[in-house]
Structure 1
Amino acid sequence: MECKRPFASNRMPTPALRYISEFPLPKTHRCRRTTPVYKVMLIDDDVLMLKFLRQLIDWEKLGLRICADAYSSVKALDKFKQEKPDIVVSDIGLPQMNGLQLADRFKSLKPDVRIIFLTCYEDFHYLKQALHMNADDYLLKDQLIATQLEDTLKRSMKAIEDHIGFDAQSAYREDFKRNLDVLKTSFFDQLVKGSSDEHSLLGYAERLGMKWDYPLFKLSIGNIAYSSLISRYPCKDVEVLRYSVYNIASELSERHEGIYVFHYKGEVAVLLNFRSAVTTKPQEYLEAYIREVRRACMEFLKIDLHFIHAPDSPMLGAIRDVYKRMLRNKHHAFYSDPTYVEWSSKQDVYHPAGHLFDAVKKGLIKAVQEGNDASLNQSLLQMQETAREQRINPQEWIQSCVDTVRFLELKFANKTADEAFYSVLESTLSSNDLLSLMKWKLSELMGEVHAPVETGLQEAKLRAVDQYIISNLSENVGSLEMAQHLGLNASYFSRYFKRLTGENFTDYVHKFKMGIAAKMLENTDDMVESVAMKLGYYERSYFSKIFKKYTGVTPSELRNKGR
C-alpha cells in the first residue's frame, strides 16, 4: 500500500533531466558509418561457453566482428583497452571482478559501449526486474538460443546507431542518465565526508533531481541479512544482490516524496527530507517505506534486510557527524539481530574474547572430522551463548570465526578458498547472520570430508593416476604433483586417495613401479641398476629395499628364480 506523506507540499521531485536541459550545450555535426561493422568482445570463465557463443550465430552476417574474447576479468580489461569494442557480451559471475564491476570499468573507458550480460541464476527473472544497470539485456545461459542472442545484438546495434546520430546535448543527457547512480554516490560521499559547503551540496542535489526545501533529515542504513541468502545464492553474487536491493529501493522511493536512496560502500543509505511540525510523523513515514522495500526484496529476490536508523533529525551540515557515529558503532545491534532498530549514540560495552572460544573451536573441528551434525550445532550454539552472555566484542568474535573456518577449509576442502565467502563473513552485522554463515560453510566442509567414493569415479581417477605414473616413470611423482595434475587441493587429494585405495599415495606409487620392475627383470637382460634408474630410483640399495618390501624378494632373487 502506498504511504502518503502527511507533511508534504504539492511539489513532486523535479526530474534531473529538466535541470540538465536548461544548460546551453554545444552542437556537433552528425556522423554515421557507411558500412557498419561493430566490434564485439566475449567474456566468460567457461572456455566451452566462449566457443559456444562463437558458433551460435553468424556474426559477420549481422555486421559484427568478434575482436577478442577472454576467460578472466583481468585479461578482459587488458583486451578491452586494446580493442575498444562496441559491444561486450559478458558473464556476471566472473572471479576477481564480477561482470557488473567489469562493466563499470568498461564504461569509464568507453561510456557508449553496449553491455549484454549472461547469467546462470535460478531466480533470474527476479534479478532481471531488479537490475537496471543500463545493460541491453540479461540472458539466461542454459536457455540461450540463436534468435534470442541475435535479437539482443540487433537492439545493441540500433542503440549504437542512435547514439552516433545524437548531437552533443542528447549525448550529454544520455551520459547523465547512465551515470546518475555514480553521481549520486559521489554526492553522498561528499555529504558524509563534509568536503563541500552546504550551498554547493544543495546545488549539486538539485541538479540530481533532489530539491531539498526543508531543513531536517532522517538517515537510515540498510544491509542484506546474509542468513536469508546463503542457501539460495553463492557469496560471489552478493555485490549483484546489493545493486538489486538498491535498484528496488530507488524505484520505490519515486512513490514516496522526500525520500532519496544512495548506494554507498555496499549499503543502502536512505535520507528523508522533512519539515518540523506538530502534526508530522516523519519516523512512521520512513518506517512504512522501509517495510515496503523489505517486502519487495522478499518477493523478487527472496532475501531480507537489516535497517538501522538514527534517532536524530540533523540539519544538512550535521548529517556527516550522524553518519560517522553510526559507522564507528556499526555493531551496535549485533546481539539484537535487528530487522529495523533505532541506533543509539550510547557507547556499547564489549569485552575481549581472549581464549574464551578455544574449547568451542576444538569442538567444531572434531564435529567436522567426525561428520557429527548434532555436535556441530551444539558447538555453534555454545559459541553464541558464550558470546551473548559475556558480551564479547563482535569484531573479535567474527575474526575468531574467520580463523576457524580458514583452518578447516585449508585442512579439508577439495578446492581453493572461497574469498567471497570470507568477505561476506567479515562484513556481518548480526550474530544470527554470523552463525548461519558458519553453519552453512562447516556443513559444506563436513559433506566433502565424508562424501562416499563412487565406483565409476574411482575407476576413472585411478586410470588417470596410473597413466600419469606411466608417463613419468623416471620421475619421483609425489602427491602434490599428482593433485595439481588432477586439479585438486593437495590435502584433499591425500585423504581422497586413501579412501579410494585404502593406502597412501607414496605406497601406491612404489607398489605400482615395483610391479613394472618385476616384469622388466623377468623379461629383459637389463642390469638391476638400469631398471632402477628407468623407474626413478638412483641408488641400487634403496631400490632393492623397496623392491623386497613390496614383492617379498630382492631383484637378484627374482631374476635367479627365473633361470
Structure 2
Amino acid sequence: MYKVFLAEDEWMVREGIKQTIPWEELGCRVIGEASDGLSALEGVMTEEPDILLTDIRMPALDGIQLAERVSAEKPGIRFLFLTGFDDFSYAQKAVRLGASDFLLKPVDPDELIRVIRTVTRALDEERRHTEAVERLEGLVRSDRPLVLEKLLADVMLGRAVEGEEDRLARVVTACNPTFGSYRLALLHNGTEGGDINAALIAGTYPEIEAVTSLPVVRLYDNTAALLLDLKGGRDKLALALECLRERLLAAAGCDCYIRIGKPEQTLARLGAAFGDTLQLLYPAPFQSKDPVVWLEDAAPADAVFSEGGEDELKEMIERVKWGTEDSITGELQRWHDRINLRYKGSPFEAGRRFYRLNVLLYLSLAGEGELQQIVRETEAERALWQSGDSLQSWMKRWGEVLAEWNRRLGERSQPGRPSGIEEAARYIDEHYAVITLQSIAERYHMSESYFSRLFKREAGISFVEYLTNVRMQRAKELLANPKLKMYEVGNQVGYQDARYFSQIFRKCTGETPSDFRKRMGIPTALL
C-alpha cells in the first residue's frame, strides 16, 4: 500500500476526497491530513508518505512552500497539487518542483482516480527498479564481483539495456562510496600462448589493488580492462602498471601492452572512454613497441581523417550495408593500398592509421540500430583485436567479419519486405515535391554519388529520371483539375519556376501542360 497525506484547509474538501476515492482499490491508504501548511509539514516529516496531495493556497505555509521544504528533506515523495483558475503563477513554480500532476478545484473524483493510478504505476516501476538494484548490490556485496564485471563489460561494449548505466553507477557507489574520477586502462597480451585474463583472475596482484577497488573486466581472449582510481596521480598509476606488466610477464608469460584513457568524471562516459582508448590498442601487425601509452600523449584520434579518410569510412559503411562481399573485401584492400601510398616513407604509421580507420568503422557500425545485434552475435571484437602473425592474415579475418555482417543484413530482408532501394523509391513517391538528391542520400546515410550509383543499378534508371517521372505523373493528375493554375501545379510537384516546369513537362511528355489540357478537354485556368 502506498501512503497518502492530504493537505487542504477546507474540511469539506478533505472529507470528500477521503470518502469518495476507493483508496484501497488503488493500492493506497490515507495516513494523515492537515488544514494548514505547517501542520502538513510536521505530519509529512513524521509519517513519510509516498504521495502528498496538497492545495496550493493554504494558511501558514502554501502548497509550493510546503513542497519545497518536503522535497529538500524527502526527495522521493510525489506531489499532486489542487489548484484554482487564478493560481497559474503558483502552478509554474510547481512544475519546476517536479509536480506529478495538477487537479482543478472543485475536484472531479474520476480525474483524481486517473491521476492516482498514473502516480502509483510510476511508483511501482520505481520500486521494481530499486528492488532490482538492491538485489544486484546484495550480490556484489556478497562476494560476487562477476555481477559488477558483467555490468561494466556490457556498458563498455554497448550491450547495456536501457537504464543499466544508471544501475551501474548506483552499484559501484554502493560497493565503493569513495569511487570518483577514473581512467580506463586496456591491457592486451601481445604474445602467443599466454592468457592475460586467466592470469589476472587466478593471481593476486597488489599492483591492481593499489590502483582500483573495482574488479578486473575481462573483455576478450587476451584483453582486459581496469578502471583506475585517480587519487594517487599519474606517476603512481604509471609505477603500479609497470610493476603489473613485469609480474604478468614473469608469472604467466604475458608481455602485455597497456593503453590508458583520459580522466573521466562519471560512469556515464564509460562507453565513450572505451571507444577513445580502444583506438590506441593495435593487433601485432600495427602495434607500437611502447608498452604503456597514455591517450593524452598520443596523436589526436581525428588525425585519421586527413586526406579523405572520412569519405573512405562512409564508403565502407555503405558497402557493408548495401554492397556485396567482393566489393567489401576489395574496398578493404584498396583502403590499405591508398594509405600505404600516402605514408610510403613510414609503413608503421600507415599500418596504424589503417587499423584506426577500421576501429572507427567498427564503432560506427556497432552504433547502427539494425546492426547492433549482428555485431554482438558475430563477436567482431575478437577479429579486430586478434594479434595474428601478419597483416594479411588479420585483413582476411576482419574482411570475413564485415562480409558476414553484410550477409546477415541481407538475410533480414525477408520475402515481402522492401529492399533499401524499394524503400527509397517509396519515399520518393511520397515526398516528390520537396526531395533532393542530398536529402535522400543523407536519410539513408550514403554519399550522393554512392546513392546515385546504387539507385541506378537497382532501379534501372537514375534518381533524377525516377523523380522526374513521379513528378510528371502527379502533374498530369493535378492538371485534370481546371481550378488549378499552371504555376500552382508546378509548385505542388516541386517546381517553383512555371516556365521551367513547362519545359520539363514538354521534354518528358512531348507536349506543354496547356496542350495536355486541350487534348484532354480540360479548361485551362487563368494564369
TM-score, structure 1 normalization: 0.37
TM-score, structure 2 normalization: 0.39
- Higher RCO (CA < 8 A, seq sep 6+): 1
Looking at CA atoms only, which structure, 1 or 2, has the larger radius of gyration? 2
